[in-house]
Chain A
Amino acid sequence: MGRIALSPADHRLAFALLGAVALVPLGVQSEYWLGVLITGLYFAMLAQNWNLLAGITGLFSMAPSAFAMVGAYTTGLLSHHLGIGPWVGIPAGAVVSAVVGFGLGRITLRLRGAYLALTTLAFSEILRLVVANSIEWTRGDLGLSVPGILGGAKAPILYLFLGVLAAYQVLLMLLLRSRVGLFLLAIRDDEVGAVARGVDVVRYKTLAFTLSAAGCGIAGALFVHFLQLASPELGLILQTGLVISMVVIGGMGTATGPLVGALLVQVASEALREVGVRHLLVFSALVILVGRFFREGLMGLLARRRSPARLVARPASDAKRLA
């Protein structure tokens, strides 16, 4: 899959998609659908951040929702108990999530594959249960009411989310162009080989965890100010499952896959709800199919259709480039 993934075409497509989303409020006035799109953008942020950790660095974490919840409750608690506004609360959410992510990254350095998945799963559930049970602080399952932003108007909020997502996309692109991106991909493919080739695996794995957590934290903080409610349900493994589905269906390890997956899944969820079919039923089935047969997800299918020859060895043109 290395051909389409993270290639210039991949990044261009991602930005084109974001551009298309930016045009939606011009045509769609329905508050409901704008809300659906905003939720889709929230998930797109989580999806991209999870992709950084799992698709690019190979660290299969089950904690993206937990970090979203950390960000959400940081800003929620700050506003609820201390009256601190969202424009301080949201960055604070990012910082706290980053710190927690850094910590989790450090302690799980020696874990791989399913062991890492299990540990992050346990971590995610512990965090959620603590939040849900700390009723004096968080009001538990009743949720914490949180002030809105931008007057609660959907279109401006959508552009805010889009702006943050675009900023994230740019950062990702720059990261992947630098040697850090190359190192993360190397760690994904063979951690032992990477460290033998001089990659400071400790530093870069921790970096991936920290960035991913911070990104999820910002998303969570933004989202609760949109919903005007923070609830422990944000951190359910169910939500993580949804995020993972989005990335797998869209295409793990690509720049566009998580975006496509998130938006598609979000819109499809609405359609499925009309029909009375549980959306996770359909998406998990797709995940199994994709995992089993179309490993590269939608992006992979797209790549194959556009240029099947690209999957085969390229002859002379590369040799010329190397002179």
Chain B
Amino acid sequence: MLTVEIVFAGLLMGSFYALMALGLTLVFGILKIVNFAHGEFFMIGAYAYTLLVTRAGLPQVPAMLSAVVLGAAVGLVMERLLMRPLYTGVIGPGALRDEYAIIVTFGLSIFLINLSHQVLGPYPVKGPDLVATSRMELFGMFVSPHRLLASGLAAATLALIVWLIKTTVWGKRVQAVAQNRFGAAIAGIDHARVSALVLALSGGIVALSGALLSPLFHAYPDVGAFPAVKSFVVVVLGGMGSIPGSILGGLLLGVLENFGAIYVSYEYRDTFGFIILMLVLLLRPQGLFGERAREV
């Protein structure tokens, strides 16, 4: 029974990892960059939900939705202001482009963390759980209803996004731009708009994760750092730009982490993610599902 509980709890957490990783991988697919400010969308969601409920007195559901909208809005603004040069040809291909992306997104990350520190202070704030009861029994296991509901929402969002991308016309446009921006543009697709919307989507779902997890993690300036690292691990493990890779990788990480926390060292638990990240990047940079890009 214990193993099942560990796996189940791992899957619950894994659904969040999958959702966040999906956000990161979508941005990579469209812009071919790693967004170093990824974790800060989590923070935005966490703060938005928590403050709207505790300080503005909003009911939980509208607060949750507002957090998502805020995340999406920030994503949109980020794309318009900072990401455009990546595809308008101002920056050449290759080395300069990578440098630009890292500097700008890493700078944004530090900026957002310090902005919340400056404006909202360093102390964590906690919002209410989605469901008031603290424990319930499910198939002989004790679970937190909040976690169950939150994970359910995360999983549902995941499914929605995958459906959007795989089946709708808009989703096909996204796929087209991800595969070949130039070709997509020639075919008449407004690739700039697609970019903006994908980044908004990514911001929104990552903010949702932050909001859903905020009763657990609380909200503070660099709350997004560890989720970001975990997202990097998942995306690198699953393969940059691979949607199934992000989902499977996220669930896998959730389960593995749970086993690790219980059976291996507690002190060094934070290092596991980093170690996995390094190992994957050094041994199989394309991840489990990704493709090795041809260089020459």
A contact set with B: CB distance below 8 Å: 54, 58, 60, 107-108, 110-115, 117-119, 122-123, 125-126, 129-130, 133, 188-192, 241, 244-245, 248, 252, 277-278, 280-281, 283-285, 287-288, 291-292, 295
Contacts of B232 in A (CB 8 A): 118
B62 CB to nearest chain A CB (Å): 30
| CB–CB B107/A114 < 8 A | no
| CB–CB A281/B267 < 8 A | no
Q: Main SS of the interface on chain B? A: helix
Interface status of B139 (Cβ within 8 A of chain A): no
| CB–CB A118/B111 < 8 A | no
A-B contact pairs, 18 of them (CB 8 A): A110-B285, A115-B34, A115-B285, A118-B236, A119-B278, A125-B270, A126-B274, A129-B274, A188-B95, A192-B296, A241-B110, A245-B107, A248-B107, A285-B107, A288-B108, A291-B103, A292-B85, A295-B100
Nearest residue (CB) in B for A60 is B102
A227 CB to nearest chain B CB (Å): 24
| CB–CB A118/B98 < 8 A | no
| CB–CB A281/B108 < 8 A | no
Nearest residue (CB) in B for A277 is B118
| CB–CB A58/B110 < 8 A | no
Q: Main SS of the interface on chain A? A: helix
Contacts of B107 in A (CB 8 A): 245, 248, 284-285, 287-288, 291
Interface status of B295 (Cβ within 8 A of chain A): yes
Contact with A along B262-296 (1 / 0, CB 8 A): 00000110110011011001100100000000011
| CB–CB A133/B103 < 8 A | no
Report the separation of the CA atoms of residues A283 and B103 in the bound assembly, to the nearest whole angstrom: 12
Interface status of B53 (Cβ within 8 A of chain A): no
* Chain B interface residue number, banded: 35 or more
Report the separation of the CA atoms of residues A122 and B276 in the bound assembly, to the nearest whole angstrom: 9
Report the separation of the CA atoms of residues A60 and B33 in the bound assembly, to the nearest whole angstrom: 14
Contacts of A295 in B (CB 8 A): 100
Interface status of B141 (Cβ within 8 A of chain A): no
Partner of A58, one of B99, B100, B104: B99
Interface status of B156 (Cβ within 8 A of chain A): no
Report the separation of the CA atoms of residues A244 and B106 in the bound assembly, to the nearest whole angstrom: 10
Interface status of B82 (Cβ within 8 A of chain A): yes
| CB–CB B118/A278 < 8 A | yes
Contacts of B270 in A (CB 8 A): 125, 129
B293 CB to nearest chain A CB (Å): 10
| CB–CB A292/B117 < 8 A | no
Interface status of B94 (Cβ within 8 A of chain A): yes
Report the separation of the CA atoms of residues A277 and B232 in the bound assembly, to the nearest whole angstrom: 31
Say whether, besides A118-B236, A281-B115, A112 and B277 are in contact (CB < 8 Å).
no
A136 CB to nearest chain B CB (Å): 12
Nearest residue (CB) in B for A55 is B99
| CB–CB B33/A192 < 8 A | no
| CB–CB A126/B278 < 8 A | yes
Partner of B106, one of A123, A241, A277: A241
| CB–CB B103/A244 < 8 A | yes
Partner of B277, one of A107, A119, A288, A292: A119
Nearest residue (CB) in A for B100 is A291
Contacts of A245 in B (CB 8 A): 107, 110
Partner of A287, one of B103, B282, B296: B103
Interface status of B101 (Cβ within 8 A of chain A): yes
Interface status of B114 (Cβ within 8 A of chain A): yes
Q: A129-B271, A129-B274 are in contact. List 8 more A-B contacts (CB 8 A).
A: A60-B102, A111-B282, A118-B277, A192-B296, A241-B110, A283-B110, A284-B114, A287-B103
| CB–CB B282/A284 < 8 A | no
| CB–CB A278/B117 < 8 A | yes
Say whether, besides A280-B114, A288-B107, A190 and B277 are in contact (CB < 8 Å).
no
| CB–CB B117/A111 < 8 A | no
Nearest residue (CB) in A for B265 is A133
- Among A192, A252, A292: residue with most chain B CB under 10 A: A292
